[in-house]
A and B are shown apart, each in its own frame.
Chain A
Amino acid sequence: MKIGIPRALLYSIYLPLWKTFLESLGHQIVMSSHTDKKILDNGVKFCVDDACLPIKIFHGHVMDLAHKTDAVLVPRLVSIHPEEYICPKFIGLPEMIKHSVPGSPSLLVMDYNARSGTEKAYHGMKTLGRELGASEKLIKRALSEARIRQAEHERRMEREKGLNPAHALDGKGMEGIIRLEQGTIGLIGHPYLVYDQFINMDICNKLAARGYGTVFPENIPMADIEAACKRYPKKMFWSYGKRLLGAGLTMMGDRQVDGLILLTSFGCGIDSFVDELLVIANRRKYKLPLTIITLDEHTGQAGFNTRLEAFIDMIEWRRRYDNYIPAHGLAVYTGKGTFR
């Protein structure tokens, strides 16, 4: 069977697992195109208005695959770590797709739920394997092969600083560059914003053009992330919320970056909390240049570039006036309102 995998949401992190599994079961995988204008427009058109940009774009990717494939894989990532979640919309994603995408393409829903244990997470994949008519033996082999590939991918992400996992998958698109002559910017955001060149207006290359490398949340070791989040009285139960928060705090604390950009989508519930905590921590303690850039379907290149330029100018200005002490941790607070 020809199975489509949308190049959206967490594919850059989990593709080796999904793809190897399905291929080992004897299916052919077709990836949707890299996000483009058409995918975006389709997503915006058919998804409910109130949803955030990444979810809308996922809709667009499913539509891109609908006619090219026999079925489209829609992962239901309830949880990727015990006692944690990702986001309510990830849990309800298959339902959103089912009720919004026109022409009701056939969907393969694959549950992944590690909430009550990592091993249990694979139940959903086994179930899907059975639905696809594979034997238990084949499923077992496919799964173990898939897990090996996935582990390799995860090791690379943590080890190779500046690695862009999406690039690591197919060698296409932007490559991560950690350190350039001017310095390094910490880019904090969900993988589907940070690693999707179209959605993020090619931010990494734009930073590189001004001489800045980038470091991503996936490059910070999990142990540091966990340690950094300990300062809050309650466990942050969103896996990516935790990653972004801990990575941001670690980057600030180690002072390995010259500034931080918090990349978020308009209407992202998780980021509304994470970014607030980061902004408060930075204002009170670290006082690094920091800006929030909000993306939505109306974000235009021109406005985006101006914002980025202004931020870099500020970093450089601060460097020149090294002993200048800002009144309250000078930062560009641009988090209010949609950025157009």
Chain B
Amino acid sequence: MTITFPHMGWLYIPVKALFDDLNVPIVVPPPINNKTLEIGTLLAPEMACLPMKINLGNYVQSIENGADTIVLTGSCGPCRFGYYGVVEQEILRDQGYDVDIIILDAPGRDPREFVNRISRITGRSPLFKGLKAFFQASKIIEEMDKLQQVFLRKRPRELAKGETDRIQTRFEKEVMKCKGSREILALIEKYRHKAETIQERPDTTPLRIGLVGEIYTLIEPYVNLNVEKKLGSLGVEVHRGITIRDWVKTHLSLDLKYKKERKEKLDKGAGYLNLCIGGHAWETIASAVHYADMGLDGVIQILPFGCMPEIVAESIIPTISKDLDIPAMTLTVDELTGEAGYQTRLEAFVDLLSRRKEIIYEQA
């Protein structure tokens, strides 16, 4: 059995560490590229969500590299993500790929089945080794989250243009060569140090923009056309609440303090939306309010075309923008989104924010 899984930003880093530690052979899908998208677009129904199209591309490329089992997490609605596994399996089988899909739904109803599926994946590792591997993986998630935050903070402030990007690229290259969680943790540590010491321009107060929207689109740079790098190089400090750490903490951990904080944050949006409608729409709304409270200069919502919960959020955002006086922009991405037009819209929005800031500054 050779396992593979879908890409989502840096998710492959803890996943790789986990399986390395368990001595389970895996195939990390090749980095998402145009070919991935092309395969996915061909296989998936046209109206499928973009993340699913990329998933399918990942699988096929991994199967070509020897994978025969796909592991993915699930949910029980209300959004489509919960049914990805079934539709993906049908499509792959229909295309003649002989693969197994293991869907890891939250243990809720049937804990035995959950343990069953986990042990199908972890093989015959002794329990304590398994637990240790999970523990290490969650540590990696924490650490890489911090590294990411450093990159986000440094990018708009770097003295030598492009240095942050260069360091990040080097990190991403080297991490693939690491084996096991120990090596990966050491590498993250090393790069965090490197990133911390990136020289900053003197007295810069960058514009600050909060990113909100559908989780996959926010986390996966290929799909959001590298929005963080683009904004960073326009001199913007990017804030993003939804990260892999956040997702893991919400869905897979028992961290009560975190859950309480999360609930408090969600409550901020209560005046606009006060229940889960699927996906991350509630977070989108609550974060937009939160970013306005924090005094950020603007908010950008990103969603894949046809994303059901985010469409609901999209209709609420203009009201928040008006009520709380914070400029907001919605970007819908699909497989045809062009680099140039996207860049232009980002630049125009950043322009608007900086002009607005100047005016406010002069008035003060």
Interface size on B, residues (CB 8 A): 46
> What 1/0 flags go to B76-87 for Cβ under 8 Å of A?
111110110111
Q: In whole angstroms, how far apart are the Cα atoms of A237 and B273 in the complex?
A: 23
Which segment, of A90-98, A160-168, A213-221, A249-257, faces chain B?
A: A90-98
For A264, list chain B residues within 8 Å (CB).
47
The smallest C-beta distance from B81 to any residue of chain A, in angstroms, reads 10
| A275–B303 CA distance with the chains assembled, in angstroms | 23
Give every chain A residue within 8 A of B277 (Cβ-Cβ): 88-89, 91-92
User: Nearest chain-B residue to A236 (Cβ)?
Assistant: B83
Among A89, A99, A235, which residue has the most Cβ atoms of chain B within 10 A? A99
Any A CB within 8 A of the CB of B233 = no
**CB nearest to B48 among chain A residues:** A272
- The count of residues in chain A whose C-beta lies closer than 8 Å to any C-beta of chain B is 44
Interface window among A8-16, A63-71, A79-87, A127-135: A79-87
Asked if B89 is an interface residue, CB under 8 A from chain A, the answer is yes
Q: Which residue of B lies closest to A59 (CB)?
A: B315
Residues of B within 8 A of A87 (CB): 78, 308
Digitize A252-284: 1 where CB-to-B-CB distance is under 8 Å, 0 elsewhere: 000000000000101111111101110010011
Q: Which residues of B contact A197 (CB under 8 A)?
A: none
Contact with B along A193-236 (1 / 0, CB 8 A): 00000000000000000000000000000000000000011111
Chain A neighbourhood of B318, CB < 8 A: 99
Contact among A84, A96, A284, A336 with B77 in the assembled complex (CB-CB below 8 Å): A84
Closest partner residue, chain B, to A85 (CB atom): B78
Query: Distance (Å) between the CB of A334 and the closest chain B CB?
Result: 11
Instruction: Answer whether A95 and B308 are a contact pair too, CB < 8 Å, given A88-B281, A277-B90, A335-B45.
Output: no
B residues near A86, Cβ cutoff 8 Å:
78
| Chain A residues with a Cβ under 8 A of chain B | 47-48, 50-51, 78, 83-89, 91-93, 95-96, 99-100, 232-238, 264, 266-273, 275-277, 280, 283-284, 335-337
Q: Which residues of B contact A (CB under 8 A)?
A: 44-49, 74, 76-80, 82-83, 85-87, 89-91, 94, 103, 105, 272-273, 275-279, 281, 303, 305-309, 311-316, 318-319, 332
Contacts A88-B78, A268-B47 aside, 10 further interface pairs with beta carbons under 8 A come to A50-B305, A85-B77, A88-B309, A99-B316, A99-B319, A100-B315, A234-B103, A237-B82, A273-B80, A336-B46
